[in-house]
Amino acid sequence: MAENASENLDTECCPKKKQKVENTPDEIEKKHDTADDVDEFLQDIANFQVKNILRNDTTNKRIAVQGLFKGRSENALIVLEKKIFPEEREILQEGFFDSNSSSKKIYRNDIYRGYDWFPMKQHNGLNVTITYPATNKHIEKWMPPEYYLIEETPELYKNVTLPRLLREPFSLQWVDNILNGTAEKDRVIYNDADNDLGFVLVKDLKWDDQIQTLYLLAITRQRIRSIRELNETHLPLLKNIKESACKAIEEQYKIPRSQLKIFFHYQPTFYHLHVHFTSFAVENAGAIVERAHLLTTVINNIELVSDYYEKAVLSFRVPKLSSYTPYSEYLDENQHVKKKSRFSD
- Any idea which residues carry the catalytic annotation? 274
DSSP 195-257: TTT-EEEEE-TT--S-GGG-EEEEEESS---SGGG--GGGHHHHHHHHHHHHHHHHHHH---G
Amino acid at 138: H
Residues in the chain: 345
User: What is d(CA 79, CA 5) in angstroms, rounded to the nearest whole number?
Assistant: 18
Q: Beta strands 148-152 and 188-192: pairing type?
A: unpaired
Element (H, E) at 316: strand 314-318
Phi, psi for 23 (deg, rounded to 5): -110, 125
User: What is d(CA 268, CA 249) in angstroms, rounded to the nearest whole number?
Assistant: 23
